[in-house]
């Protein structure tokens, strides 16, 4: 029985490891400026954790087999632990996790705390149960005021985000359920939530950030490849969570300008 259990543990370990080594379970092809760094960070993390995982599981399988119960097995000896080994293991774990955190800090922090490049495209993303809405400030570069009392999610569009149409800045604000972005241009994203915590997750753009009620969270990133990329909500936000998805269309600067001009013209 001990041998069978050891073989089972080793098979599960080696088969699951194969899928990661072969990148069967991996991130989609990246399409943002941060892709190279983030993917390297993932690779290093998986290699280090994979070594520890393999050593632990293969060791577990061996121990299950080596110390299995047999008619000639000696009496069981109970151990209350080894303080020195526990201190060493805890210290090594702390060094590993703190080291990985410090490696990832530059890109993570720069996208959230450094100012966006001059001329970045401004986009406001608003999450609500159960949809994403995206607002562009238009030619004047100024977002109009919004009011909670004007919000009507069932109406969609401007009404969903509570756009105050009495504000002169609202004349060219564009609200849409699909995000359009120009390629190779920085995006200055303002992230909001109306009701509960949501999470804007675009795997291909290596973008993931919570939207928290009461906070206006700024991030910036740069898409580098034209295409259509799926948006998911990565935070369980209610019974309709499964419906909270959308698309990012990364297009040429010319096509983006045409799209934005057409949306502004519809408001006239």
Q: In CATH, what number is assigned to the domain containing residue 165?
A: 2.60.40.420
Domain assignment present for 17? yes
Domain for residue 202, yes or no?
yes
- Same domain assignment for residues 139 and 211: yes
Q: Are residues 158 and 58 in the same domain?
A: no
For residue 135, the model assigns a pLDDT of 95
The DSSP-derived string for the chain is: -HHHHHHHHHHHHHHHHHHHHTTSS-PPPP-BTTHHHHHHHHHHHHHHHHHHHHHHHHHHHHHHHHT---TTPPPP------HHHHHHHHHHHHHHHHHHHHHHHHHHHHHHHSPPPTTPEEEEEEEETTEEEEEE-TTTT-PPPB-GGG--TTT-HHHHHTB-TTSGGGGG-EEESSEEEETTS-EEEEEEESSS-EEEEEGGGTEEEEE-TT--EEEEE-B-S-EEEEEEE-S--STTGGG-EEEEEEE-HHHHHHHHHHHHHHT-
Q: Are both 15 and 136 inside the same structural domain? A: no
- Residue 208 in domain: yes
Q: Domain check: are 102 and 128 in the same one?
A: no
75, part of any domain: no
What pLDDT is recorded for position 4? 83
Q: Do 126 and 228 belong together in one domain?
A: yes
Are both 53 and 95 inside the same structural domain?
yes
pLDDT for residue 1: 67
Q: What is the pLDDT of residue 21?
A: 85
* Average pLDDT of the residues of the chain: 90
Do 91 and 149 share a structural domain?
no
Clarify whether residues 140 and 260 are in a common domain: yes
Flag whether pLDDT at 141 surpasses 70.
yes
Residues 219 and 125 in one domain: yes
Query: Are 108 and 141 within one domain?
Result: no
Clarify whether residues 9 and 108 are in a common domain. yes
In the prediction, which pLDDT does 179 show? Answer: 95
- Both 177 and 219 in a single domain? yes
Has residue 167 been placed in a domain?
A: yes
Domain that includes residue 58, residue range: 2-69+81-113
pLDDT band at 268 (very low <50, low <70, confident <90, very high): low
Domain-embedded: residue 74:
no
Between these two residues, 88 and 70, which has the higher pLDDT value? Answer: 88
Where does a domain end: 89, 113, 137? 113
Residue 76 counted as domain residue: no
- Amino acid 78: pLDDT: 80
Domain-embedded: residue 246:
yes
- Model confidence pLDDT, tens digit, residues 158-204: 888 998 888 888 888 899 999 999 999 999 999 999 999 999 999 99
In this structure, of 131-140, 148-157, 214-223, 228-237, the range with the lowest mean pLDDT score is: 148-157
Q: How many domains does the chain have?
A: 2
């Amino acid at each position: 029985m001990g041998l069978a259990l050891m073989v089972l543990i080793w098979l599960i370990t080696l088969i699951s490891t194969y899928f990661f080594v072969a990148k069967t379970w991996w991130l989609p092809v990246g399409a943002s400026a941060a892709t190279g760094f983030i993917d390297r960070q993932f690779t290093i993390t998986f290699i280090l954790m994979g070594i520890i995982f393999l050593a632990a599981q293969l060791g577990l399988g061996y121990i299950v087999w080596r110390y299995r119960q047999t008619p000639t097995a000696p009496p069981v000896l109970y151990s209350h632990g080894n303080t020195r080994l526990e201190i060493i293991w805890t210290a090594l774990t702390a060094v590993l996790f703190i080291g990985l955190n410090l490696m990832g800090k530059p890109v993570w922090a720069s996208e959230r705390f450094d100012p966006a490049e001059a001329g970045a495209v401004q986009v406001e993303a608003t999450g609500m149960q159960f949809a994403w809405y995206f607002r562009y400030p238009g030619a004047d570069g100024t977002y109009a005021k919004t009011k909670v009392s004007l919000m009507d999610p069932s109406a969609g569009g401007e009404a969903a985000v509570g756009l105050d149409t009495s504000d002169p800045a609202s004349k060219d604000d564009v609200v849409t359920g699909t995000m359009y972005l120009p390629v190779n241009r920085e995006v200055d994203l303002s992230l909001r939530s109306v009701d509960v915590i949501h999470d804007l997750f675009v795997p291909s753009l290596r973008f993931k950030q919570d939207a928290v009620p009461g906070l206006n969270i700024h991030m910036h990133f740069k898409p580098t490849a034209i295409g259509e990329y799926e948006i998911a909500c990565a935070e369980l936000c209610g019974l309709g969570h499964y419906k909270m998805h959308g698309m990012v269309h990364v297009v040429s600067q010319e096509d983006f300008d045409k799209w934005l001009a057409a949306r502004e013209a519809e408001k006239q």
